[in-house]
Amino acid sequence: MAYPLEVDYAYDRVPADLFGRPAAHGLERWAPLLPPLAAPGLGEGNTPLVQLADGVHVKDESRNPTWSHKDRLNRVAVSAAKASGARGVVVASSGNHGAAAAAYAARAGLPCAVFASPDAPPAVASFVRAYGAAVLTVPRESVPALARRVIEEFGYHPVSSFTETAHTGHPFGPEGYKTVAYEIFLDLGEVPEAVYVPTGYGELLFGVWKGFHELTLLGLADRTPRLYACEPAAGGPLATALRTGRPATRVPVGPTEAYGISCAVGGYRGVVAVRESGGAALTVTDEQMAAARAELVGQGMWVELSSAAGLAGLRAHRDASGRPGEASGPVVCVATSSGFKDSATGTRSYPPMAADWDTVAAALRDLPG
C-alpha cells in the first residue's frame, strides 16, 4: 500500500488578514498557504459560484486558464518542476490534466511529454497538442515503464501518479486544489453545509477538504462542510474502500462516458476527506450524470459529462433512511470542466437546410419553452 506525501505549514505564521483581502486571479493570492510558486501563472482560480433556481451553488471551474480545475494543480506541480531544476514535465492523461500541464510547462519554458490514449476525444487531442507538448499514444500498460525512463533519462518531473498499488499523486496537487475551498468560503462568507465533488482519484476531493480543514486550523471556521465524493457507478474505488474499511482499493471499471473520472484505483486521500468531514461516497450512473448535465446546460452551463457528477450526486443523494439528503445551509457542487472536452464534441456538423419559412417555423415550433 502506498500512502501520499502530505504538505504541512506553520499556520501560526499565516498573515491574520489573509482572508480579509479581496478575491483576485492567480494562486499568488494564497501564496502564504502554498508551496513556492516558482513557475509563472495564468491568473488561475478565482472562479465564480453560479446559483441554480433552487439555490444550489455551482463552482464553475471551466473558468480557469485551460478551462478546468486542473490548472490549480498544475500551477503548483509545474512550480515543483521549475524549482527542482527539472528539464521538462511528464504526465499521463487523455484530458484536462494533460492540457493544463502542457500549458503551464509552456509558460514556464519547459518541454512537456503527455502520455495519452489514442482514443482521446478529438477536441481534447487538438487541445493538448496546441501547447506544443509531445503526445505519446502508447498502450496504457506500457506507460509506467516508459514514463520512468523519461523521468530518469531525460530529467523530466512527473506531475501524474506512477505508483501502482494505490494512487498517490503529486504531493502539491491538493495544495492547488484547496484554493477552491478558500474561494467558496470567501464568496459565501461562511462554510457551506455540503460540497459535492466529481471524483476520480480523489485529489480534488481531498484538496477541497484540506482547504476547509485549514480554515478551522486558522481559527476562521469551526467545522468543515460534509464532503460528498461523486464517482461513476461503473467503477467506484473510493466507495469500495470506504465500504470495506481499506485505505485504497482497485476495482473493475465498466463502460462509462465520464472518462475524466473513470478510475480503477483509488487513494488514501479520498478516504480521509469523506471520513473526516462526515460525508459519504456516492456513485452516479451515466444517465444520472447526463440528466445533471442537461439541468446545467438548461441554466447556461455547458459542462463535460464528468463535471456533472457533482450535481448528479446531489440530486441522487439519499440518506441512510432513504430520504433525499437535506441541507440546512448552502450547498455547493463543483463543476470541473467545459463541454468542449466531451467525446462527441466536434464530431458532427449541421447540414444546410431549406431556406424557406415553413422549414424555419417548424424548427422553432419544436423548441421547448
Contacts (CB under 8 A) with its own copies, residues 27-86: 42-43, 46, 48-50, 60, 62-67
CB 95 within 8 A of CB 260: yes
Phi, psi dihedrals of residue 228, rounded to the nearest 5°: -110, 115
The CB-of-94 to its own copies minimum distance in angstroms stands at 10
Q: Does the footprint of its own copies cover residue 119 (CB under 8 A)?
A: yes
C-alpha cell at 231: 464517482
Q: Which residues inside 228-287 make contact with its own copies, applying CB under 8 A? A: none
Q: Which residues inside 133-152 make contact with its own copies, applying CB under 8 A? A: 133-139, 142, 146, 149-150
Residue 85's identity, in one-letter code, is G
Of 27, 70, 80, 131, the one binding its own copies by CB under 8 A? 131
The CB-of-320 to its own copies minimum distance in angstroms stands at 35
**C-alpha to C-alpha distance for 38 and 42, rounded to whole angstroms:** 13
What is the size of the binding site for its own copies (CB under 8 A)? 85
Residue 191's identity, in one-letter code, is V
Of 2, 107, 188, 285, the one binding its own copies by CB under 8 A? 107
Q: Does the footprint of its own copies cover residue 311 (CB under 8 A)?
A: no
Q: Which residues inside 174-233 make contact with its own copies, applying CB under 8 A? A: none
Strands 134-136 and 112-115, sheet pairing = parallel
CB 177 within 8 A of CB 16: no
Of 15, 132, 278, 329, the one binding its own copies by CB under 8 A? 132
The C-alpha cell 433556481 sits at: 53
Of 31, 154, 164, 324, the one binding its own copies by CB under 8 A? 154
Strands 88-92 and 112-115, sheet pairing = parallel
**Per CB under 8 A, which region of 195-203, 223-231, 308-316, 350-358 contacts its own copies?**
350-358
Phi, psi dihedrals of residue 270, rounded to the nearest 5°: -65, -40
Give how far the C-alpha of residue 340 lies from the chain's centroid of Cα atoms, to the nearest Å. 15
The CB-of-49 to its own copies minimum distance in angstroms stands at 7
Q: Which residues inside 323-342 make contact with its own copies, applying CB under 8 A? A: 338-340
The CB-of-89 to its own copies minimum distance in angstroms stands at 11
> Which helix (DSSP H) or strand (DSSP E) does residue 287 occupy?
helix 286-297
| Through-space distance between the first and last CA atoms of the chain, rounded to whole angstroms | 54
CB-nearer residue toward its own copies: 162 or 302: 302
